[in-house]
Amino acid sequence: MKKIAYKIIPILFLLTLAGCYSCQSWNNMWGTGPVDQSVAHKFFLDKQCKPLQPAPPAKPAEKPKPQPQKVEPKTTSCGPSSVSRAYPCDDCGVVKISKMMPSEVARGSTFAYDIIVKNVSDMIVTDVVVTENLGADFKYVSSTPSAQANGSTLIWKMDKLEPGEEKTIKVNGSAEAEECVKSCATVTYLMPACANVKVVQPALRLTKSAPTEVLICDPIPVKITVTNTGTGVARDVKVVDNLPQGLTTKDGRSSVTLDAGTLAAGQSKSFEMDLKASKPGTYTNKATATAAGNLQSEATTQTVVRQPILAITKTGPEQRYLGRDVTYDITLSNKGNAPAQSTVLEDQLPAGAKFVSATGGGTQTGSKVTWNIGTLAAGASRSVSVTVSPQGQGTIRNVASATATCAEDVTASASTKISGIAAVLLEVIDLEDPIEIGSNETYVITVTNQGSIADTNIRIACVLEEEQTYVSSTGPTTGRLEGNRVIFGPLATLAPKAEAVWRVTVKANAAGDVRFGVSMQTDQIVRPVEETESTNQY
């Protein structure tokens, strides 16, 4: 008996130390009442059912774990009807499955239960697969969403679960036997280790502006703007503008390279320059922007360069005599393709001529006549005239010039030879008429220069008829008798408007109607000028 007691006592002692085999059995033994089902069938050290394992360490406050869904377990003789599991572990949960089934159902009746799948991490999970292994006595009817059924296994596939996202699966079926029906769910998933790289695409846009029309004397302002319209940095940005022939920069370059450097997304850089044209015409100007990565953009402008082109003509007589006015006609035209603005026409009066008049509103100031024409339209013309009076012999040259904004100055001239003319007048008269035979008669010979220049080498010769006899002669030159002719020495010069007088005295020696003849020659007169005077002698 003692031997049996020695064997029983150690066993009882060990059971006491172990708190029996479970908290439930301990309470059954000591009669302390019901115990929370959550600690059923677990091993404890005392009557208060304290667990043998130590309490888990406290979690850092700065990184709280997602709170698992609270499931109120219900336990029957078959075990708990609701359960939650976190994968891969309770303290490092990523995906949690909560399964809630009714604690009791009638055999053959259809019932439903839920499987809740939740991402309790702060990362996205992908390729989520929920597998439900059905009990042998459970008849599957349907599920929402639909499952892929393979015998007693149901499979649901989910592409991904966002952080905190949960999805509910509802399973419908019935129990075929009056016993415990057990089904187990598992989950698999992928948590990809994702790293991100930002992909950008810079892009260039080039814009260019220039006036559509300018005058040739005006600069052509050009503005070029290059913009990075893409999503990344554009590097080594350059703009090249190869100018068309006839167009250059102010310093004479025909090609321009502009360095824009590095442009961030959305950044722009602008350049401005002034160009000039060497001649009128239409200029098409294309610029190209490039950057690293074979980026390129082009922009084109077109500018029409216009110019007024003045043309002037002047006409006048080639020859005029002194004492006659000379009129010059002037025509000014615009043969260009732009209006000639601020047009002024001037006529320089020739030396040795006096201003008489001008048409078209010309006004004289000093030695100039000026016409303020204003704007002369393209293709238009204007005609005026100016009249002068030559003051001496020689060739006078009349010059007209015109100026206008953006037009080249033009001039035109006309020359006129001004000549003098002697135009001498010969007059002969007798002082008495009639006269008696034996009386003397005096003839007065007057030479007057009515011309504009001096007459030179004036020679007078008189012819006596036989009824008269030479007595004497007087005058600026000496006369002599040669046969029946009285010849005076030449008079060297006779100024314009001057006169010279010679006298010849004769004696009447017979009656009759007598003719006293006088002949005059000068250097300016090709043919002799002859004059006669009749005298009655009785």
pLDDT in tens, 204-253: 999 999 999 999 999 999 999 999 999 999 999 999 999 999 999 999 99
pLDDT of 454 reads 86
Number of neighbouring beta carbons within 10 Å of residue 292 = 12
Query: Quick one: which of 473, 328, 477, 304 has its CA closest to 388?
Result: 328
Query: Quick one: which of 498, 510, 508, 519 has its CA closest to 442?
Result: 508
Q: What span, in angstroms and rounded, lies between the C-alpha atoms of 308 and 405?
A: 8
Number of neighbouring beta carbons within 10 Å of residue 162 = 10
pLDDT of 423 reads 83
Confidence of residue 138 (pLDDT cuts 50, 70, 90): confident
In this structure, which long-range contacts are made by residues 195-202, counting pairs with CB atoms below 8 Å and at least 24 apart in sequence?
Answer: 200/230, 200/231, 200/232, 200/233, 200/265, 201/230, 201/231, 201/232, 202/228, 202/230, 202/231, 202/232, 202/233, 202/234, 202/263, 202/265, 202/291, 202/293, 202/295
pTM over 0.85: no
Number of neighbouring beta carbons within 10 Å of residue 482 = 9
Structure tokens at 185: 């769910």
Number of neighbouring beta carbons within 10 Å of residue 332 = 27
Q: What span, in angstroms and rounded, lies between the C-alpha atoms of 28 and 18?
A: 15
Query: Quick one: which of 93, 92, 145 has its CA closest to 114?
Result: 145
**Residue 5 parent element (H or E):** helix 2-17
Is pLDDT above 70 for 87?
A: yes
Sheet holding 138-144, edge to edge: 82-87, 95-100, 110-119, 166-175, 138-144
Which DSSP state fits 37?
Answer: G
Quote the Cα angle for 430-433-439, to 5°: 90
- Averaged pLDDT for residues 28-36: 49
Q: Among 46-55, 118-127, 345-354, 463-472, name the one with the lowest average pLDDT.
A: 46-55
pLDDT of 67 reads 52
**Residue 11 parent element (H or E):** helix 2-17
pLDDT of 8 reads 52
pLDDT of 63 reads 52
Exposure b/e, 81-114, CB count within 10 A at least 16 = b: bbebbbbeeeeebbbbbbbbbeeebeeeeebbbe
Confidence of residue 71 (pLDDT cuts 50, 70, 90): very low
Pairing type for strands 319-321 and 529-537 reads unpaired
**pLDDT tens for each residue of 350-363:** 988 999 999 999 99
Structure tokens at 333: 């035209």
Q: Among 61-75, 76-90, 170-184, 189-203, name the one with the lowest average pLDDT.
A: 61-75
Q: What span, in angstroms and rounded, lies between the C-alpha atoms of 320 and 395?
A: 10
Number of neighbouring beta carbons within 10 Å of residue 55 = 6
Q: In the structure, how many helices (H) and strands (E) does the chain have?
A: 2, 40
pLDDT of 58 reads 54
With the C-alpha atoms ordered 63, 66, 68, 69, is the resulting torsion angle positive or negative? positive
* Cβ pair 275, 249 in contact under 8 A: yes
Three-class SS of residue 38?
A: helix
pLDDT of 2 reads 45
pLDDT of 1 reads 44
pLDDT of 392 reads 85
- Averaged pLDDT for residues 123-132: 92
pLDDT of 74 reads 61
* Cβ pair 464, 484 in contact under 8 A: yes
Query: Quick one: which of 110, 108, 112, 113 has its CA closest to 97?
Result: 113
Contacts of 11 (CB under 8 A, 6+ apart): none
| High-pLDDT (> 90) share of the chain, % | 66
Is pLDDT above 50 for 11?
A: no
Confidence of residue 57 (pLDDT cuts 50, 70, 90): low
pLDDT of 488 reads 96
Is pLDDT above 80 for 26?
A: no
Residue 145: cis peptide before it, omega within 30 degrees of 0: yes
Give the residue, 41 or 155, on which the prediction is more confident. Answer: 155
Averaged pLDDT score across all residues of the chain: 86
Confidence of residue 19 (pLDDT cuts 50, 70, 90): very low
* Cβ pair 228, 202 in contact under 8 A: yes
Contacts of 434 (CB under 8 A, 6+ apart): 535, 536, 537, 538
Give the residue, 192 or 410, on which the prediction is more confident. Answer: 410
Three-class SS of residue 72?
A: coil
CA distances, 37 to each of 67, 80, 474 (Å) = 22, 9, 183
- Averaged pLDDT for residues 100-107: 89
**pLDDT tens for each residue of 325-346:** 999 999 999 999 999 999 999 9
pLDDT of 56 reads 53
